[in-house]
Amino acid sequence: MTPRERADRAKQILDDPVFAHVFTDIREQLVAKLEMCPVGDVEAQHDLTLTLQLLKQLRTQLARYCDEIVLDNAKARQESWLRRAKQSLTT
């Protein structure tokens, strides 16, 4: 999979309302479990907190893939502009 394909797919996933709903549902369930967790159950609290952090990381990584393509596009536009500028100076 090329970086462009990966970025396009990541954007599709992030823009998908079902995916957004799933993320919200999972987060709400994890927070509810964390709130119900006994104060002394440090291991369960830790596991739930890690899971929440991983859920956030998943969304963040997908956003990074989208950002990479934005940078790629900007770089390509800049290189194209430089080529055209060089050509216009030599003609």
Separation between Cα atoms, residue 30 and residue 58, nearest integer Å: 15
- List C-alpha distances in Å: 73 to 2, 27, 63, 65, 66: 14, 33, 16, 13, 11
pLDDT of amino acid 64: 92
Separation between Cα atoms, residue 73 and residue 31, nearest integer Å: 38
Residue written as tokens 């890690």? 50
Separation between Cα atoms, residue 6 and residue 83, nearest integer Å: 27
Q: Map residue 33 onto helix, strand or coil.
A: helix
pTM above 0.75, yes or no: no
Query: What is the domain partition of the chain in residue ranges?
Result: 3-66
Q: pLDDT (tens digit, 9 = 90+) per residue, 16-70?
A: 999 999 999 999 999 999 999 999 999 999 999 999 999 999 999 999 998 887 7
**What residue type is 70 in one-letter code?**
V
